[in-house]
Chains A and B, each alone.
Chain A
Amino acid sequence: MKRIAIISGKGGSGKSSITASFLTLAKNTLAIDCDVDASNLYLIFNPSVDKKHVYISGKTAKINNNKCTSCGLCQNTCNFEAINIIDGKYVVDDISCEGCYLCSRVCPFGAIDMIDSGENYIYSGKYRFGNMIYGRLSPGEDNSGKMISELREKADQLAKENNIECEIIDGPPGIGCAVISTITGVDDIVVVSEPSLSGISDMKRAINVALKFTNNVYVIINKYDLDESNSEDIIKYCNSNNIKVIAKLKFDKNMVDAMINKSSIIEYSPNCQCSTEIKKAYNIIKSTLDK
């Protein structure tokens, strides 16, 4: 199994647009959208929903007022300040509740139940280039990467069932747990950057994290012509750290139009500069994967 993950550090750099393009070029590949907080790939590819799997991300405490004697032990014990008194009754604030079970364990009257908190979904199905699997986190849930680990496991199963040998993974922004779960066990990581000071700062953080998981880290500079001087700095940084810059994409309104048209840029405008560069980049990655 060969795996490519696309991350960025900075949000809005163009991960999903580039992932969609790679998927357009790839053969016998499973599309995986690990940005479970803000899934976007399915908006372009409109996959069928063949399987819907519910993932319960955790528990939340609920106080049964019929059994509660207002002794206050739960509130004193809770380390997350998640139990308040509202209208004379003890109530769990489910935004702050971490579902650790401690209050339910210490309550002398068995007045606290632990109930399933968020219902998150993992969907798998088919789209015009093959199979896709993606997740949608229930709003407000903790995006700690556990769901993404589950999603990756289901993805591997799906790939095995369908004799698929390659996975292309659209990652979340940032560098936290969710990204870590996305890039674990991956062969190649593509970091999509934009030539702004924020983008460069986040790119460096993303590269540092990526290098802990694989030596095959590549950079794509998106919208490079919005600041050519910063783009040069990115190239210098990558050169001095032995990281290959595999594409420089011009800022192009076609990227937005493609999205609106529910297609990748490769499908929408196959001869534009962005498409040409992305094809070049994909071939570079493909050749190292094949080795």
Chain B
Amino acid sequence: MKIAIASGKGGTGKTFVATNLFTYIQKRGVNVVLADCDTEVPNSLIFIKAKEKEIHKVMDYRPIINPDICKFCGKCVDYCSYNAIFYVPSLKKISLIPELCHGCKACSVACEYGAIDDSELEIGVVRSYKDKEENKECNIFEGRMKPRELTGVPTIKSTIRYATIPEADYYLFDSPPGTACPFIQTVTRADFIILVTEPTPFGLSDLKQSIETLKKLNKPYGVIVNRSDLGNNDLTQYLKNDSIDLISSIPFSKKIASSYAKGNIEINENPESEKYFKEIYEYLEEKRLKIKL
């Protein structure tokens, strides 16, 4: 079962939940994969000791415009929806503005004179890791987009593709924050979404936005409330009123904050925290078995 761990608001605890849940499930001897899809600032590998095994470049299409073959008909400029072609026909100047190029290939399709060659640009990397040498395959994947690139979406798609190895029981996608394209591209590839939130006005507002989006995508979801004692009751009231599953409630604790700050897995440092992940896992197991049937 593919599970996206997401949140509208940043900093609610997605990576905390994803890495601890991954560790908890592994301890049970269940085959689980972790994919860090927060390609702008991936952090999961801070918490999990794993050996990098492979690097895969994520390539995006880029045209090479040849001014010597170009007949300066301007058709590629008409076809480009992103103003990504610098074009001054009177000076016989034509070139790509790479920062604006979306890799759609429209210019190449437009050109009737063979003046555009196909090329590729590296816009991100996916790293594969094993946390145990005995593993048959890599079980941890991290997507990292190149800074200043337009979008992390192709890197997210690649990360999930590599992470979907055969025969794992669980695939956990640590999602990017927000409800924009990167979030959508991650959750759309999941069977179930865990939304991590905090009981504050910011948390509630962003949660509602996430849920509105998930409803449009027709994806099932449940909520984990983190730092559950730092805020007010509006969130729990909202979950009750809308009959939204509250999977687990994790109170603020300086111990948890400290484990997180040091880059440690909380359930390894403080086994009494396992009870939250036991609760989450049992909830997910119920969902997974239902899907199987």
Contact = CB atoms under 8 A, between A and B. Distances in A.
What 5 A-B pairs come out closest when comparing CB atoms?
A12-B11, A11-B10, A100-B104, A227-B261, A197-B263
A198 B15 contact: yes
Interface stretch (B173-181, B241-249, B271-279): B173-181
Nearest to A114: B81
Interface string A36-80: 011010011000000000000001000000000000000001011
A59 to B, nearest CB: 8
Given A139-B216, A227-B261, A256-B230, A79 B179 contact: no
Interface residues of A, number: 58
A37 B262 contact: no
Contacts of A166: none
B210 to A, nearest CB: 8
Given A177-B151, A230-B261, A12 B181 contact: no
7 contacts: A105-B79, A141-B180, A172-B178, A174-B177, A175-B40, A195-B261, A196-B261
Contacts of B41: 9-10, 173-175, 198, 201-202, 205
A40 B81 CA distance: 32
B201 A259 contact: yes
A172 B179 CA distance: 13
A177 B103 CA distance: 17
Interface string B172-206: 00001111111011001000000000001110011
A256 B228 CA distance: 12
Given A176-B145, A226-B254, A259-B201, A12 B261 contact: no
Interface string B1-45: 000000011111001000000000000000000000000110100
Contacts of A38: 8-10, 177-179, 202, 205-206, 209
Given A40-B202, A197-B46, A227-B258, A95 B102 contact: no
A128 interface: no
Nearest to A141: B180
Chain B interface size, under 10 / 10 to 19 / 20 to 34 / 35 or more: 35 or more
Interface in A1-50: 9-13, 16, 37-38, 40, 43-44
A143 B102 contact: no
B288 interface: no
Interface of B: 8-12, 15, 40-41, 43, 46, 61, 79, 81-82, 102-106, 109-110, 145, 147-152, 176-182, 184-185, 188, 200-202, 205-206, 209-210, 212-213, 216-217, 230-232, 254, 257-258, 260-263
A260 B199 CA distance: 10
A106 B209 contact: no
Contact of B260 (A99, A142, A196): A196
A43 B210 CA distance: 17
A95 B188 contact: yes
A102 interface: yes
B255 to A, nearest CB: 11
A142 B182 CA distance: 8
B234 to A, nearest CB: 8
A66 B60 CA distance: 34
A18 to B, nearest CB: 13
A131 B202 CA distance: 21
A105 B106 contact: yes
A262 B201 CA distance: 9
A40 B206 CA distance: 8
Given A175-B147, A197-B262, A100 B9 contact: no
Contact of B106 (A11, A101, A199): A101
A137 interface: yes
Contacts of A214: none
B150 A177 contact: yes
